[in-house]
Amino acid sequence: MSIIDKALGAITPPESDEKRAEATQKARAAAGSGDWLSLALDHHDEIRAAFDGCRAASVAERPAAMKRLALIMNAHVLAEEVVLYPAMAKAGGKGHANMAYTEQVAAKMQMAELERIAPSDEGWMEKLEHIRGAVLHHIFEEESSWFLELKEQYDDQPALTARYTEEFERYRRS
């Protein structure tokens, strides 16, 4: 972790697990059965579980665990970037959409760096934890406000669900 990352972490500490759980519960309450929001929340759960799998993996299991994480993250991230963030910008959340894109690019760059660290290197777990913290914060932002605003303000929710599903499945199959 860089000095800048450490300084930012000290200035803006991450949300507590309790706050994250509250945000997820609030978002789940706003979601409809099988709509884009419920699907995105399910994907967030899968991402959290994949991070847990990486953290629990033995050194020999780390590459496979990381591949599982990358598969769910990439499909989810690309579906958000192609469908949800443009809708967010259109519905008046251009600042949130820009921040979301920026955070996801940073996470992709960090994942690429993690791939270049030997699974046996102690820096591997440190990099994973750095990525995990950033992704959990991003998920918190989406679940606590950004996605709730999109749910309230976007005028064609069925189209969002259809397109989000289509894009997620396209990348998940890749």
Tell me which residue of 16, 24, 31, 26 sits closest to 47, measured CA to CA. 24
Residue 144 has pLDDT above 90, yes or no: yes
State pLDDT tens for residues 82-96: 999 999 999 999 999
Does this model's pTM top 0.75? yes
Average pLDDT over residues 72-78: 95
Q: Provide, rounded to the nearest whole percent, the portion of the chain with pLDDT above 70.
A: 92
Average pLDDT over residues 100-114: 94
Asked if residues 115 and 66 have their Cβ atoms less than 8 Å apart, the reply is: yes
Average pLDDT over residues 7-33: 82
